[in-house]
Structure 1
Amino acid sequence: MADNSKEEFLQLVKRFGAFLTLKVSNLFQRLDSRSFGALAGLAFAIVFTWRILRSPSGPQRRLPKRQATPPSSSGVSHANADSTASIVATSSEDSRAQNVIDEFFQPVKPTLGQIVRQRLSEGRKVTCRLLGVILEETCPEELQKQATVRSSVLEVLLEITKFCDLYLMERVLDDESEKKVLLALEDAGIFTSGGLVKDKVLFCSTENGRTSFVRQLEPDWHIDTNPEIITQLARFIKYQLQISPSKPERPTSNVFCSSSLEQFFGCV
């Protein structure tokens, strides 16, 4: 009986080790290089499971002593009962071990900040037009009446300002439109994060003026809704994002397309 229990325990350790190796391999395939929290969880899980394996209260359970019984025909029944109990105990230990591993090796969900950095390929300077991207309005004529910041884009925009040098720009028809835009951005709290200041909100009177702004700033990314500007800048800007409800085909390999800024970062 002692030899059988030892053999069963060794088999459990082997199965547990194989299972742990598979989980570790899958985890490292999913890990982001900055997921230090996940690595800490991995180390904790390894120590925890090692203690389970070496603990006296682990798979080797001490069975209560039974009084010796004279040999009889019921000996076979007792042997079968012991075998069944051993199988059930082994299965229970396997299940508990698997639950421990599953708990510590859950997929690590990246934060929005990590997603933004990954999608922008670690770009450090971004230029972005306002109409149709940050604002609800889509043409300069609408800005003469009002300017409304899209609430769904705020979280992404603030994450971008945390690690990127962000410039917002737009064509306007008069000074009043400029004031309305700046007031709307201020009311939305965009200037309170510290990553964007009013001096980095640029205005011009023509579409070509926006193109000139981008060329002078030489950003890593430019975000726009005008396909003509996207095409003109494709040779000069490393990456571009075209915002369009129709999701047009990519004109070049360095131009990405999305129905909205937040959709590009998986926020909708």
Structure 2
Amino acid sequence: MAESSKEELFQLIKRLGTLITVKMSNLFSISFQNLDLRSIGAVAGLAVAVVFTWRLLRSPGDGSQRRQQKRQASTPSSSGTSTHSNASLIPSAACLSSEDSRAQNAVDEFFQPVKPTLGQIVRQKLKEGRQVTCRLIGVVLEENSPEELQKQATVRSSVLEVLLEITKFCDLYLMERVLDDESEKRVLEALEHAGVFTSGGLVKDKVLFCSTENGRSSFVRQLEPDWHIDTNPEITSQLARFIKYQLHVSPVRTERTAANVFSAPTLEQFFGAV
């Protein structure tokens, strides 16, 4: 590598070091909850690479060559040589701004904010709640009434990923009002076919059925969850005094009935999964 190229690389590494120092100070002021091990490893790897390259460029041989070159440049010489030396300095000065820009762009690209995972978002939104009860109709299932369940039961594909994330760290109970035993069987088969029971976080014994809306409210009161998710505004209003947090799922925007009651068009939209 030519001495001028080494000098340019050395200056670029110095700029990178300055920019990285600023970025690292900002980065570590952010909560480590938004960083994963891969991100931290990448930062450490970059820091090691920068230090190694800087030490390589600062080797004694290079230093003596730079000192020798400096002495040669200060020695009087012919006018042709002086003109050549001055001309070589012009492009170096002109490249300073472009090198700064490249260094800034490289560091900015590396230190892009780490996007939280769906699991992290779910935990944050549920405020680390450990027990959740959730209605099936209109939230997990496509159907919107017990009468529809007498014909079919279909799990909404868009909600499945969120549901499985909840089961990873929450004790989840699903519940619904049904009109007959066939509807109950149909719902369980739909959940099993969708893979809800394969993750290990949810079992069939935690899918509860009742014959009235008050029965579902009674289930929630007995379980005393941290969160209850429902589509019925009356039940949500009744439980507001007893349940820590609730999510009212409704395609129509409604007024917030209590400070501990949130609302969203769908469960997955509440977690920003769509």
Do these two structures clear the TM 0.5 threshold for a shared fold by scoring above it? yes
Q: Show the counterpart of 1:130.
A: 136
Contact 1:244 1:257 (C-alpha < 8 Å) held by counterparts: yes
Structure 2: which amino acid aligns with 1:224? D
Q: Show the counterpart of 1:33.
A: 33
Q: Show the counterpart of 1:165.
A: 171
Deviation per residue, 1:86-118 (Å, 9 max, x gap): 325545654554354334322211111111111
Q: Show the counterpart of 1:48.
A: 49
Superposition map of 1:109-258 within 5 A: 109-258=115-264
Superposition map of 1:15-34 within 5 A: 15-33=15-33
Give the whole-Å Cα distance in 2 for the aligned partners of 1:39 and 1:12. 21
Deviation at 1:263, TM superposition (A): 0.5
Give the whole-Å Cα distance in 2 for the aligned partners of 1:262 and 1:193. 18
Contact 2:16 2:107 (C-alpha < 8 Å) held by counterparts: no
Q: Answer with 257-266 or 42-51: which moved more.
A: 42-51
Sort the Cα spacing of 1:25 and 1:145 in 2 relative to 1 into closer, same or farther, 3 A: same
Give the whole-Å Cα distance in 1 for the aligned partners of 2:204 and 2:219. 16
Q: State percent identity of aligned pairs.
A: 64
Contact 1:169 1:203 (C-alpha < 8 Å) held by counterparts: yes
Contact 1:45 1:104 (C-alpha < 8 Å) held by counterparts: no
Contact 1:45 1:101 (C-alpha < 8 Å) held by counterparts: no
Sort the Cα spacing of 1:249 and 1:44 in 2 relative to 1 into closer, same or farther, 3 A: farther
**Partner of 1:240: helix, strand, or coil?**
strand
Q: Answer with 120-129 or 40-49: which moved more.
A: 40-49
Contact 1:30 1:107 (C-alpha < 8 Å) held by counterparts: no
Give the whole-Å Cα distance in 2 for the aligned partners of 1:27 and 1:136. 43
Structure 2, unmatched stretches of 5+, are 1-5
**Partner of 1:182: helix, strand, or coil?**
helix
TM-score (normalizing by structure 1): 0.84
Give the whole-Å Cα distance in 1 for the aligned partners of 2:20 and 2:53. 13
Deviation at 1:236, TM superposition (A): 1.0
What is the total number of aligned residue pairs between the two structures?
259
Sort the Cα spacing of 1:136 and 1:264 in 2 relative to 1 into closer, same or farther, 3 A: same
Q: Answer with 98-107 or 250-259: which moved more.
A: 98-107
Give the whole-Å Cα distance in 2 for the aligned partners of 1:131 and 1:11. 60
Structure 1, unmatched stretches of 5+, are none
Give the whole-Å Cα distance in 2 for the aligned partners of 1:155 and 1:185. 13
**Partner of 1:82: helix, strand, or coil?**
helix
Q: Which structure shows the higher helix fraction?
A: 2
TM-score (normalizing by structure 2): 0.83
Give the whole-Å Cα distance in 2 for the aligned partners of 1:26 and 1:107. 11
Deviation at 1:24, TM superposition (A): 1.7
Deviation per residue, 1:215-262 (Å, 9 max, x gap): 110111100001111111111111111101112122111111100011
Sort the Cα spacing of 1:52 and 1:251 in 2 relative to 1 into closer, same or farther, 3 A: farther
Give the whole-Å Cα distance in 1 for the aligned partners of 2:56 and 2:97. 18
Deviation at 1:29, TM superposition (A): 4.6
Deviation at 1:156, TM superposition (A): 0.6
Deviation at 1:150, TM superposition (A): 0.5
Sort the Cα spacing of 1:103 and 1:45 in 2 relative to 1 into closer, same or farther, 3 A: farther
Contact 2:191 2:197 (C-alpha < 8 Å) held by counterparts: yes
Structure 1: which amino acid aligns with 2:262? F
Sort the Cα spacing of 1:172 and 1:213 in 2 relative to 1 into closer, same or farther, 3 A: same
Picking from 78, 82, 95, the partner of 1:71 is: 78
